[in-house]
């Protein structure tokens, strides 16, 4: 054993600095919830709604209403997100058409069926296991264990559901869902669905035709009939879960060719000190009471300072983004420039990590929709060694998508050909990079896009 003295340096954050960093990372909804939690712990805090404070917030609301009235695009104020598409030609959905849920639609049909009550009751029981897409979430054996129905009653109830509208509802997998929608005499399409779903997705017409002993034209016609089916029949109806909404943290408006950037500070309350507790701190002669109130007052003042710093940093970063991505706000999403967090950090004279925290989980609303602030940071396109190209990866992906959309569907462009066409436009990237971007866009290979 020995005793020695060492001198070392380490960087640690005080509790107050940790609190400041946490508040900087919060979006408007998180900040609102956090302030409400603090109010429950600190009796000195009082909330004041900014909308009722003065005319400054009224002006912000009027600007927001003006922005919402500028419906220049179909997706405005909805966002640029779409349901993920994994590229499978069979996995296309149809949006809900009305407010009636799938369960309500099926239960209403049971009232018109002249069947024994125990069969109708079993069908109602089974309907409760359907998900929003119209598929069962458990096997028939598992459902039989949880209820008071016999296997025969459940089989009869299942047969009733398979006869209902929409066609294909009540399936246990995709294959059964599609078969329920096909005519019984369509044996070729049924065989393709049962055994060749993966080959259909990869467009292997010749291989399927040889194995089934039919012509490619017959296989192609059967696939067209399959493509007209709905693999998610329940998606036609309203979802049982309520929709989620995004509250923007920053709003960008345009007035006389100038862009105004403002924070949505009216989405969370403003902190105020309770006058009664301030008066009590002045009048009390109890030292413990005085120290307690003063500590709580210092906590409130620090939180107010953290919120002000958060807003100041977020506004500065948002303004810098708007300046650097002015082409996007003027012309649309296809005109994003290459932009790194380091560039914004240098503009606002902050550390790159601070910029990263400021934009985390924050959203910006503009005339083109609602976007995450991180969306505006775009990497440059991956280039071949020695090649000079200032195009962003976003621009290159946009061009690849445009080339694929305009291609001859009977002779689709290969990755190499796309690389050559981009090279003629001054964008020099390798075939491997084209394949990478194409996969990120969810675009199949040329052999899978070919229509024969």
> Which residue ranges form the domains of the chain, and what is each CATH number?
23-70+247-376 (no CATH), 102-236 (no CATH), 393-449 (1.10.10.60)
Can you give the pLDDT at residue 83? 37
Cβ contacts of 407 within 8 Å, gap of 6 or more: 413, 449
Can you give the pLDDT at residue 386? 39
**Of 120, 198, 197, 177, residue with least CA distance to 154:** 120
> 79 near 369, Cβ under 8 Å?
yes
Can you give the pLDDT at residue 314? 93
Rounded CA separation 430/100 (Å): 51
Can you give the pLDDT at residue 246? 77
Spell out the alpha helix ranges (H) of 228-351.
275-283, 287-324, 326-331, 341-348
Can you give the pLDDT at residue 94? 40
Per-residue pLDDT of the chain (452 residues; tens, 9 = 90+): 778 887 766 555 567 778 888 888 888 888 888 888 888 888 888 776 655 444 555 555 555 555 544 434 333 333 333 333 444 434 333 444 446 788 888 888 888 788 888 888 888 888 888 888 889 888 888 888 766 788 888 888 889 989 888 888 888 888 888 888 888 888 888 888 888 888 888 788 888 888 888 888 888 888 888 888 888 888 877 665 555 677 888 999 887 778 889 888 776 777 888 888 888 888 888 888 888 888 888 888 898 899 999 999 999 999 999 998 888 888 887 778 888 889 999 999 989 889 999 998 899 988 888 889 988 887 765 554 434 445 667 778 878 888 888 888 778 888 888 888 888 877 788 888 888 888 888 888 887 777 65
Predicted TM-score (pTM) of the model is: 0.52
Rounded CA separation 241/272 (Å): 37
Residue-wise DSSP of 93-161:
-----SS-BHHHHHHHHHTT----HHHHHHHHHHHTTB-TTSBBSS-HHHHHHHSS--HHHHHHHHHHH
Can you give the pLDDT at residue 327? 85
Can you give the pLDDT at residue 60? 56
């Amino acid at each position: 054993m020995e005793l020695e003295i060492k001198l070392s340096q380490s960087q640690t954050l005080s509790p107050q600095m940790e609190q400041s960093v946490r508040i900087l990372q919060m979006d408007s909804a998180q900040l609102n919830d956090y302030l409400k939690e603090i109010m429950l712990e600190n009796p000195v805090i009082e909330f004041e709604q900014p909308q009722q404070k003065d005319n400054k917030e009224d002006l912000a609301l009027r600007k927001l209403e003006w922005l919402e009235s500028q419906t220049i695009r179909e997706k405005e104020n909805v966002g640029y997100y779409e349901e993920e598409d994994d590229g499978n030609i069979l996995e296309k959905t149809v949006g809900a058409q009305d407010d009636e849920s799938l369960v309500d639609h099926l239960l209403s049909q049971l009232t018109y069926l002249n069947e024994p009550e125990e069969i109708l009751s079993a069908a109602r029981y089974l309907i409760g296991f359907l998900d929003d897409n119209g598929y069962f979430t458990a096997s028939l054996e598992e459902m039989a264990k949880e209820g008071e129905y016999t296997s025969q009653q459940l089989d009869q109830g299942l047969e009733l559901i398979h006869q209902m509208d929409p066609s294909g509802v009540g399936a246990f997998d995709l294959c059964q869902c599609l078969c329920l929608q096909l005519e019984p005499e369509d044996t070729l399409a049924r065989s393709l669905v049962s055994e060749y779903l993966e080959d259909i997705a990869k467009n292997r017409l010749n291989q399927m035709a040889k194995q089934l002993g039919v012509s490619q034209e017959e296989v192609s016609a059967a696939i067209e009939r399959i493509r007209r089916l709905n693999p998610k029949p329940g998606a036609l109806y309203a979802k049982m879960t309520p929709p989620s909404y995004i509250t923007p943290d920053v709003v960008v408006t345009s007035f006389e060719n100038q862009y105004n950037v403002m924070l949505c500070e009216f989405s969370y309350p403003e902190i105020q000190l309770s006058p009664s507790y301030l008066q009590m701190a002045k009048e009390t002669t109890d030292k413990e009471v005085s120290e307690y109130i003063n500590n709580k007052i210092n906590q409130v003042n620090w939180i107010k300072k953290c919120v002000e710093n958060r807003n100041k940093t977020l506004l500065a970063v948002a303004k810098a983004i708007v300046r650097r991505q002015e082409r996007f706000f003027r012309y649309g999403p296809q005109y994003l420039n290459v932009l790194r967090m380091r560039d914004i950090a240098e503009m606002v004279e902050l550390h790159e990590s601070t910029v990263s925290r400021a934009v985390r989980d924050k959203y910006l609303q503009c005339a083109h929709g609602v976007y995450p602030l991180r969306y505006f940071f775009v990497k440059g396109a991956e280039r071949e060694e020695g090649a000079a190209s200032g195009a962003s990866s976003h621009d290159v992906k946009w061009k690849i998508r445009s080339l694929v959309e305009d291609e001859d569907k009977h002779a689709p462009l290969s990755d190499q050909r796309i690389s050559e066409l981009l090279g003629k436009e001054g964008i020099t990237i390798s075939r491997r990079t084209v394949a990478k971007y194409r996969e990120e866009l969810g675009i199949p290979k040329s052999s899978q896009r070919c229509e024969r």
